Structure 1
Amino acid sequence: MVYCQNSQSQTKAVILVFKRKELLYDAENCSFVEGDIMKTDNEHARHQVFDIAQKGNIDRVTRVLNTAHAECVEMLYPYTKEEMLDGQEALDDVLRQPETYEIRLTLPKTFSLTTLRMLKELIHEYLVCRVLADWMSITNPASEAKWEKKFAMLRNKIQTALMSRTRKIRRKLKPF
């Protein structure tokens, strides 16, 4: 996490950084376990589950990672919105493999650091599970539903974390 705080402002800028290498490492580990516990005698099918980050397959994984990152940015919309500049936006579908996936947030000064840390962990897991759900839909359809359920649960937790209190509450000492 990178913090930038303006003392005059009521907000602070935060960048959540997710390293592609770390995301792929976690996806490969889970994919290896999935392949290892597959109930099949077909070694070719098992080998396809293992090869999630191999040449040729990595392009599909990259597209899913890019999409999942965009989904996370959109989930955090109140804190990530960016204005479009007139005539400045040109988007294409060229495959990009960024070294890092960044989410730039503008948060109230009162936003909890513990919530931010939890968001970082939840988003990392979301990105990994999203990749695995897609990969399993291709190589091991029996396992796809498990990963879809996990990333749906993580999406719900991310959205719930954003709705948590961000301001201090003052309670009167006397109830009457």
Structure 2
Amino acid sequence: MSHTDLTIYRTTSPAVLQRWHDTENAIEAWGKQVEAALAELGMGDRTIYYDQVSGRITGISTEADDIPDGWRMDRRTYHLVPRLTSKAGKAIGAKLDSLRRPDPRDLPGMPKHAFAGLSFLTCGLAFMGGALYAQWSKPIPEHNVDLATWERVKLSEYYAVLEAHEAAKLLPDGVR
């Protein structure tokens, strides 16, 4: 990826920023729900894997040859997945399916994904300096963006904000 291909949009829309913060809180709550579900399923502190697009949990890390009742090892990923041919596995599958990770990219006026030529792109997001930035690895069709809510930002301006944000993180707490 060439840095000149980067395409950045920014918004300070109260509705978009509220959605962003609500999603942050929802993801934190989701994490606690997943921890509780793993404890309930006897899976403790294992790592979960989820699909970035759907938010669906796709597997759980395995430890050696430990495959509990109701689970099976996925031969492609080597993650534990519910054994849906068993009663216990069906219950586990239903439990995991109810735990979809909220998607922070679900924002007004900005697509989560876009086609740019033959490329299927997913935007990256960063909250810096009181604004939310959407980053694309190459220009996307601008008709997909609500330009009344989002504005395109010059790379020099974006990098200045990014630099200031990074520098602020290096300062001791309470110093700004």
Richer in helix (by share)? 1
TM > 0.5 fold call:
no
Tell me which interval the TM-score lies in, with the shorter structure as reference length: under 0.3
Task: Please report the TM-score for the alignment, with normalisation by the length of structure 2.
Answer: 0.25
Task: Please report the TM-score for the alignment, with normalisation by the length of structure 1.
Answer: 0.25
